[in-house]
Structures are given as structure tokens and as C-alpha cells.
Amino acid sequence: MSKAEKTKQHIIEKTATLFNTKGYTSTSLSDITEATGLTKGSIYGNFENKDEVAIEVYKYNAGLLSRTIQHSFGDEYPTSAEKLHAFVAFYRKNWPVVFSNGGCPLMNAATEADDSFPALKPHVRNSFEIWMTKISTVIIQGQKNGEINEKIDAEKYASLFIMLIEGGILLSKTMGTQSYLNNALDTITHMIDHELIILPS
């Protein structure tokens, strides 16, 4: 990695939580220089403008979340049911981390992208599409393996899971209690166990 690449990575990593907590449009150049310990000239020597920093930071934050979610869908969990339960467990276990880092980076960015930062919107849409595809793929594989009801619409349930999780995070963060997210995760668990999985007769 070249010196310039290292500097860019330093800027992105040092401002990742800042942008997600304060907001992509509300974070100022002064905030960035304070977080990184670099001058404005150094920031603009590596990025065209603040919007470019914000987009690269979003891609970094979304990438971290995506890789963590992917772990739940890895070979460590051999069945589709186990993968889906591991996915739910990830959110139940990591709520304090999500909360302390400003909430879900996808949801935070989605709000801003829709209202005041349209350049960010295609990146956020792509993140949600990738997330939905990962869940759908696990469900479809379970259908092929005879674990999951073949009549289930994989994309529909993937989108429901995401909506419940994002809504649960939003309410929990707003109200300052994990109970709302837990309720959402309990609902997803019930769907997995009673609507998706084929129970032995």
C-alpha cells in the first residue's frame, strides 16, 4: 500500500464512526481534521471534496457490516436454519456495538440519501440489495436441501427480516432500550421456526 493509499485509509477509518453518528451531511471538514489529526490540505490532497470522503466512509461502514453478516452465513453453520439463527443472534449480541457507533450505517445513510445527499443513494440501495440477496440465497439453498418450505417466497422473507431489524434498531436507539430490537428478532425467530423450516412429522 502506497503512502497516499495509507493516508486515505487512515482518513476513512478515523471518521467511520463520526460520519455514522453525526451524519454524512452534518459532518464538517473541521470535524474530519479533528478526528484524523490531519490538515484540510491533506484531506483535499486525497479526496476531491467532503462528499467523496463521506461516500468512501459509507462504503467502508457498509462493507464491515456485510462481512460480519456473511460470517453468520458461513460454513461454520452447516444448515440454512442454523445460518438464519446465527444471523439473528448476531444482532441480539451486537446491539451495544451498533448503538455506540450511531446505529445501522445502512439505515442512517438511507435517510440522508433520500433527503439531502442523493449521490449516496445508489450506494445505499446496492447495500440493501446485497443484504437481501444473501438472506434469499440461504433460504433458497434450504429449499433445495429440503429444510425450508419450497412454497416460501425467499425474497419476501428476506425483505421482511430486514424491515423488522431496521425498525427494531430505529425504535431501540430512539427509546434507549434493546427491547424493541429483541421483539423484532423474536418475530424473525418465530418465522424461521414456524413458517420456513419444515418440521419432522
Average confidence (pLDDT) per 10 residues, the chain, 201 residues: 92 95 94 96 94 96 90 92 95 85 90 88 96 97 96 97 95 92 97 91 57
Per residue in 88-126, pLDDT tens? 999 999 888 878 888 899 999 998 888 789 999 999 999
DSSP 7-48: HHHHHHHHHHHHHHHH-TTT--HHHHHHHHT--HHHHHHHSS
185 contacts 91 by C-beta, under 8 angstroms: yes
For 122, other C-beta atoms within 10 Å of its C-beta total 11
pLDDT at 201: 57
pTM value is: 0.91
pLDDT at 71: 87
Q: Show the cell assigned to 152.
A: 416460501
pLDDT at 98: 79
Per residue in 14-28, pLDDT tens? 999 999 999 999 999
Residues constituting the chain: 201
